[in-house]
Structure 1
């Protein structure tokens, strides 16, 4: 098991633009190891998703998925998915406000408005092109993780700065 440190808000590497995975990297030992490291690190920290830049690897690679998650107890199960070089496009104008947290911003939550339905295109670890429509919480997770590939963390997307705080205090106030 390779549980790696997760970079935290303030580390300048989190603000860098990730680079695309190149053709020769698909199905490589290095890419497989990165995916294992992301999976192990996400699971050890009870995350819903994790992007490679969060562990200091500036590549466009994301993993997400949950069966159950104590950080998001009402969230429906999401199948584990590995996104490489993802592209997301909103479908329609509908957005949804929801609470988000981040392994790179531990202990804090904030309300972020996200597209409710998105078209998601990516390549899988073997290099095969994939596409699907995702909605609801899954769309939120995808948008959150793909933001990391652009050097954006959720506090920059807060709908209202007053709806941001430590998880324990927000729970005590009945907001979470």
Structure 2
């Protein structure tokens, strides 16, 4: 059972390395409670996305909520989207390297290659089938969160260890 305010689990927690299971009961009280807590924890932590495994729940649920923040000042504004049981297809094979961080890996940023444009099939919070095309930063956020459902973290995608920096160095670089 989830506590009232679950902490964001940190790198090294086993749940971050598990393949999350699909949601099959959209009326389940635990599912409904988790949806509320996910969004609250994401906003409280200044995140632009979050995945259920980050709160210790190994379910295929993510929220994508691109918006300008201190870490991502140029991010486009979009309403938060709850994405359940997602799959995606690559629409643009180009990989673009850009900075990422993670609420489960505080204090570190890294350059991570991601696809620029993707087509996402998913279910909404009521289990209805949906689809969307995401490009650029929102596509990056989705792929980052989708990795959490596959038992991966963004550091697994880094091509060169020199692309990993302390957050303090990251802020110096974006200020320059």
Match in the other structure for 1:155: 155
Match in the other structure for 1:4: 6
Structure 2 gaps, min length 5: none
TM-score w.r.t. structure 2 length?
Answer: 0.92
Aligned partners of 1:17, 1:83: CA distance in 2, in Å? 16
Note if 1:95 corresponds to 2:95: yes
Q: Secondary structure at the match of 1:10?
A: coil
Greater alpha carbon shift after TM alignment, 89-98 vs 12-21: 89-98
Structure 1 gaps, min length 5: none
Note if 1:75 corresponds to 2:107: no
Shift of 1:175: 5.2
Aligned partners of 2:164, 2:90: CA distance in 1, in Å? 25
TM-score w.r.t. structure 1 length?
Answer: 0.92
Aligned partners of 1:21, 1:85: CA distance in 2, in Å? 7
Conserved? CA contact 1:3–1:44, under 8 Å? no
Q: Secondary structure at the match of 2:156?
A: helix
Match in the other structure for 1:167: 167
Runs of 4+ in structure 1 deviating by more than 4 angstroms, as ranges, are: none
Identify if the C-alpha distance between structure 1 residues 18 and 142 changes in structure 2 by more than 3 Å, giving closer, same or farther.
same
